[in-house]
Structure 1
Amino acid sequence: MSKNDDYMEVDTKEEEADVIDENVTTDFTYVAENAPTDEQTDDRYEDVCVMCQRPESKAGKMIHMTAEICICNDCMQKTLDTISNTEKDNPNHLGSIFGPNMGGHFPNISMVNLSDLQDMFPQRQKIKKKSKDKNSQPLIDLKDIPAPHKIKAQLDEYVVGQDYAKKVMSVAVYNHYKRVATGTMDDIEIEKSNMLMIGPTGSGKTYLVKTLARLLDVPLAITDATSLTEAGYIGDDIESVVSKLLAAADNDVDKAEHGIIFIDEIDKIAKKKNTNQRDVSGESVQQGMLKLLEGSEVEVPVGATSKNAMVPMTTVDTRNILFICGGAFPDLEDIIKERLNKQSSMGFKADLKDKYDNEENLLQQVTVEDVKNFGMIPEFIGRLPIIFSLEALTEEMLVKILKEPKNAIIKQYQKLLQLDEVDLVFEDEALHAIAKKAKEKEVGARALRSIIEEFMLDIMYEIPKDDNIGRVTITKDYIEKKGGPKIEMRVAGLIE
């Protein structure tokens, strides 16, 4: 058999018969002459079979048809078996397809230019190879892991308040990555410290996790539990949360296996009460996530959130992935009140039933039993050993959020106006007026941005018109729509 560039020709019919003889076991261990050179391929990535989409770690050595197209031994053997069976059933079938000169034998594929086939296949996601060297350096060095007090100090620069939550997260993350860096110590295996974060909307749950992942420089995947459904129904598979982490790690499996997955709105998969329909997005999702939280090898698609025939698959071990679940858990306060009121006494000087109605931080008294009564199954809660609550934001905390963090909202607007050589100043009374308005909206810190956007619109529109403006001062009257801002000119002085 001779090969010429991208074409393969069969010289004689006797050679063809030898190729498709059913008694011959073919071992495809050779590499075609047109296999990619060292300059054309990257050893860091796995080859993926163009037919079954399995990577070489699962399918074995690949046969390179061109620099971009390769096929595994199994698919090549199945192809030849199919051709052999077709020829036996209908000897003239292949001849009718490939021309009269074929004689009904193994088709001469010299008419097929393999390099042209490359354009017929879409660009595929590349899968990085796993490190097999046991003596290789770990991705996370124990010396590089900051101590809990240093982690909290860094969080303090970006997140206002929530001291208890930041302390819990700092210790949990520190212990987790010590576990990852050292592995087992003296046959004592340290369990994962997955977390369940409960807090009212706008209290900073997602922001805390984002800041934490940025400080630790590890891959982070933020997903929403509301889109997860039981396998076989419309929605994302449970394994899609791991697919997002793999994408965040640039398809590097080793890096993804040391990342953080934050599942928001976890309270939306609670058991549905008083329903006669099948609960495909509640308890069944919790049961499906048990293996992820505890640690297991999961087969996930690369570059997609759902499995299909055109997407390569790879295996990710979730044993060292830190899971942080968060949710607002509405109506959980009523469950806590009911538990606390059962403990109240009767008679004179007894606690009143409405004693806890005005308690803003009632969620901090949450127990595992309260979360269970909310609708989370015991097996799910058991895999989230660290449960903590965030504080409700007070007016003073909202004022600090406006001006103290490194990327505070006020500092962002001041930077924008500095580019126009204009100073932006906020009076303290104006900041308290903004915080008071945000508190009334009951959506936490999210309300601050919308309020500031509203009254800064006219300022950001009018300031660039006049190059003589040097300073703008935001007053309480302007926030309350009783007056306007104070504008100082560079030369002319103060203009009301």
Structure 2
Amino acid sequence: MADDKDYLEKSDKEQTAPDNTSGDEEEFEKICFMCRRPESKAGKMIDLPNDIHICVECMQKSFDTMNNAPIDYNDLMKNMPNVSMIDLNSLQNQIPKRQRVKKKKEEPKQENVAPKAFDIRSIPAPHKIKASLDEYVIGQERAKKVMSVAVYNHYKRVFADREDDIEIEKSNMLMIGPTGSGKTYLVKTLARLLDVPLAITDATSLTEAGYIGDDIESVVSKLLAAAGNDVERAEHGIIFIDEIDKIAKKKNTNQRDVSGEAVQQGMLKLLEGSEVEVPVGANSKNAMVPLTTVDTKNILFICGGAFPDLENIIKERLNKQASIGFFADLKDKYDQDANILDKVIVDDLKKFGMIPEFLGRLPIVFTLSGLTEEMLVQILKEPKNAILKQYQKLLALDEVKLEFDDGALGAIARMALEKHTGARALRAILEEYMLDIMYEIPKDENIGEVIITKEYIEHTGGPRILLRGQEIPRIGMN
């Protein structure tokens, strides 16, 4: 009787439990169990028990194979009496959720179409975009201004009315700047501000057909994953391709350039805008991964690279016509020019190894300047998520106040300049000097404040430590 009572209680719970799966399943497309294509590509599905779906084409191929095969199934069943039917329960949930495609929302056909969640009215004006970038990025005033205008114009183009047959071209960008100058950080901040999906990829991993590294279309697949497999949201996203200078044409080589010029050629259709089939939840196409179509015409592409030795190409061009005569410029005139990259033109990039067709699809070219000592000090303390503020918050959780002397900040900035890796060096330097402090502070509950001094950074002294309720500092740490 007890078993019967438990069974009845379990049955009542199952009947009254809300069905949360049906609504969730309706958001995703059905995927063929055999060819892995979604319903939008393969057509109407044949539904089998246990949430298994097969497209009409695969079902027909299965019937044709069985009918045309020279096998007598009656004899086969007689000779194999223990053969059992396939257990469909073991086949369900074979397609993981990360490889499932969300259905596209059907747009109403009425003239008064309801505005989308992300429309032209929700795009901040260029000055507001730049003001938001100013809160996170120090310096690079021209770069932030150019990006703000380009992004604003791009999304106006996306939502523009096309009744007058005037089609606005894409505002794809090429940013040039030394390592650590903030190229990736600018793009990340921009995507977070606009609340659009962002995919960051490295051009060094791309090859022409993907047989050595990732194929070219894998960058779109990464964007689709960043958008939660929502194709409509992905088509309004941003793709940032870093290290773009690494796919320049190889000079004086007779080998096939599968990771250089060939990659530039293959990226042309993506930059300009085309419909591409990309795998869902994977970087490479294979028979076990569903495919979906993404239109890249409204995806904003931003390419960035350090372009080493580009300065020499610019100097050579500038000195070419000014080296003969009484009024000729000196050949070393531009050697000390810190802003030499600002004088770059398309011909310089062609000479570097970028093909004209590729540069033509990146109409907006701008540069980022190298960081100075003053800028590095500002980066340490002024942005909203500055590195010093992060350490101060960590120690505040232990009820300890952390301060840095101006001399200490200057010393850290000078050390970072010597490493020639830009702002990235700041974190590594601080990690080194804060290690002992973060280790020792939790040992003593009497410590109330720590002041990082210039002497501590230069290894000629220690930090100043103030005990709780005391104004006399204690020098050094035991």
Contact 1:475-1:484 within 8 A present in 2 as well: yes
Q: CA RMSD in A?
A: 2.1
CA gap 1:37/1:76 in 2 versus in 1, 3 angstroms: farther
CA gap 1:144/1:204 in 2 versus in 1, 3 angstroms: same
Pairing 1:455-474 to 2, within 5 Å after superposition: 455-474=433-452
Cα offset, 1:121, TM superposition: 6.4
Cα offset, 1:427, TM superposition: 0.9
Alignment partner of 1:199 is 2:177 = yes
Letter in 1 for 2:22: E
Alignment partner of 1:57 is 2:40 = yes
Pairing 1:303-314 to 2, within 5 Å after superposition: 303-314=281-292
Match of 2:349 among 371, 375, 381: 371
Residue 129 (structure 1) aligns with:
103
Match of 2:317 among 304, 321, 339: 339
Alignment partner of 1:213 is 2:187 = no
- How far, CA to CA, are the matches of 1:382 and 1:248 in structure 2? 28
Contact 2:276-2:295 within 8 A present in 1 as well: yes
Pairing 1:112-191 to 2, within 5 Å after superposition: 112-118=86-92, 125-134=99-108, 135=113, 137-191=115-169
Taking structure 1 as the reference length, the TM-score comes to: 0.87
Cα offset, 1:301, TM superposition: 0.3
Residue 68 (structure 2) aligns with:
85
Cα offset, 1:347, TM superposition: 4.2
Contact 1:140-1:181 within 8 A present in 2 as well: no
- How far, CA to CA, are the matches of 2:45 and 2:84 in structure 1? 22
Residue 8 (structure 1) aligns with:
none
Pairing 1:251-266 to 2, within 5 Å after superposition: 251-266=229-244
Alignment partner of 1:73 is 2:56 = yes
Cα offset, 1:64, TM superposition: 1.2
SS in 1 for 2:366: strand
Alignment partner of 1:225 is 2:213 = no
- How far, CA to CA, are the matches of 1:419 and 1:388 in structure 2? 42
Cα offset, 1:349, TM superposition: 5.3
Cα offset, 1:66, TM superposition: 2.3
Match of 1:98 among 58, 77, 82: 77
Unaligned runs of 5+ in 2: 1-18
SS in 1 for 2:91: helix
Residue 281 (structure 1) aligns with:
259
Residue 458 (structure 2) aligns with:
480
Identity, % of aligned positions: 71
Taking structure 2 as the reference length, the TM-score comes to: 0.91
Letter in 1 for 2:106: K
What per-residue deviation string (whole Å, max 9, x for no partner) do you get for residues 120-173 of structure 1? 666661101122324454342211110000000000000000000000000000
Alignment partner of 1:453 is 2:427 = no
Query: Quick check: 129-138 or 167-176, which moved more?
Result: 129-138
Alignment partner of 1:494 is 2:473 = yes
How many pairs were matched up? 452
Residue 25 (structure 1) aligns with:
none
Cα offset, 1:274, TM superposition: 1.0
CA gap 1:439/1:120 in 2 versus in 1, 3 angstroms: closer
Letter in 2 for 1:131: K
What per-residue deviation string (whole Å, max 9, x for no partner) do you get for residues 314-372 of structure 1? 00000000000000001111100100111324344532111212222211111011011
Residue 322 (structure 1) aligns with:
300
- How far, CA to CA, are the matches of 2:131 and 2:212 in structure 1? 44
SS in 2 for 1:39: helix
Cα offset, 1:96, TM superposition: 4.0
Cα offset, 1:109, TM superposition: 9.4
- How far, CA to CA, are the matches of 1:140 and 1:109 in structure 2? 56
Residue 215 (structure 2) aligns with:
237
CA gap 1:283/1:412 in 2 versus in 1, 3 angstroms: same
- How far, CA to CA, are the matches of 1:96 and 1:407 in structure 2? 74
What per-residue deviation string (whole Å, max 9, x for no partner) do you get for residues 10-66 of structure 1? xxxxxxxxxxxxxxxxxxxxxxxxxx9983762221111111111111111101112
Cα offset, 1:491, TM superposition: 3.4
Contact 1:301-1:312 within 8 A present in 2 as well: yes
Residue 409 (structure 1) aligns with:
387
Contact 1:395-1:436 within 8 A present in 2 as well: yes
Query: Quick check: 159-168 or 132-141, which moved more?
Result: 132-141
Q: Which has the larger radius of gyration?
A: 1
